[in-house]
């Protein structure tokens, strides 16, 4: 075969030499290879490079899906179950919730009006709490003394929930920052690899174009 249609292997780029010697172990670097065979090898290298990129992208997609399935959300562990609360904590929350509602205000106002009305109007010959309503004052004092520590207990519970929520927000933000950094590193690594493969493919395309131009150039 003439030298016009053949090329010495050691004159080709390194990655092409490795591909040729891998596919044809019987050849040596000083041997000649035909243009048609060289074209086939280059096309195979382009195809392998594209398939390798597809496999890497598919692998990254699988890793992301596996991470989503295996890792639980941090926020799923931050909400305290009501079953873990003691009877006193549940009672304090319920009483504080009722004491801070319009239902309590209206109910308490109605009771006060009825109490004063019954003991002011002469419905009974002997009112059970005549003016100045000493028993009512005692009941109100007892209610205020009892309601204050219950409200404080409920506020302490609210502070605990706020601390848990703040810690949850901190963990979520920290995990998001770590995940974003890892994602940036993966994307940068993928871009660098893609650029390398694209450069190899571009070199192969340039060589193929040069080879086609040399074939189409009329010989003198």
* pLDDT tens track for 183-193: 787 777 777 77
Q: Let me know: does 17 contact 154? Beta carbons within 8 Å.
A: no
In this structure, what token pair is assigned to residue 161?
């929930």
Residue 42 in this model has a pLDDT that exceeds 90: no
Domain ranges of the chain: 3-71, 85-194
* pLDDT tens track for 60-90: 666 655 655 555 555 555 555 555 777 877 8
pLDDT, residue 219, reads 52
pLDDT, residue 64, reads 57
Q: How confident is the model at residue 32 (pLDDT cuts 50, 70, 90)?
A: confident
Residue 121 in this model has a pLDDT that exceeds 60: yes
Query: Mean pLDDT in the chain?
Result: 75
Q: Is the previous residue joined to 132 through a cis bond, with omega within 30 degrees of 0?
A: yes
CA distance 7 to 9: 6
CA distance 137 to 119: 13
* pLDDT tens track for 136-170: 899 889 988 888 888 888 888 788 888 888 888 88
CB atoms within 10 A of CB 33: 20
Structure-model confidence comparison of residues 108 and 9, the more confident one: 108
pTM confidence score: 0.42
């Amino acid at each position: 075969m003439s030298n016009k249609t053949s090329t010495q292997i050691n004159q080709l780029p390194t990655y092409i030499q490795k591909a040729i010697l891998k596919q044809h172990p019987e050849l040596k670097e000083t041997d000649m290879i035909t243009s048609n065979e060289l074209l086939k090898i280059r096309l195979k290298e382009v195809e392998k490079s594209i398939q390798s990129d597809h496999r890497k992208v598919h692998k990254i997609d699988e890793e992301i899906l596996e991470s989503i399935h295996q890792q639980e959300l941090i926020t799923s562990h931050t909400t305290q179950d009501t079953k873990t609360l003691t009877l006193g904590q549940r009672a304090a929350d319920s009483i504080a919730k009722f004491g801070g509602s319009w239902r309590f205000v209206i109910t308490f106002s109605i009771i006060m009006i009825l109490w004063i009305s019954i003991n002011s109007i002469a419905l009974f010959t002997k009112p059970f709490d005549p003016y100045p309503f000493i028993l009512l004052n005692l009941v109100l004092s007892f209610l205020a003394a009892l309601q204050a520590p219950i409200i404080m207990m409920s506020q302490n519970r609210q502070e605990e929930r706020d601390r848990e929520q703040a810690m949850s927000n901190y963990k979520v933000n920290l995990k998001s920052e770590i995940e974003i950094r890892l994602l940036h590193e993966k994307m940068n690594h993928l871009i660098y690899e893609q650029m390398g493969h694209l450069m190899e493919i571009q070199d192969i395309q340039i060589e193929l174009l040069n080879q086609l131009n040399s074939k189409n150039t009329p010989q003198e």
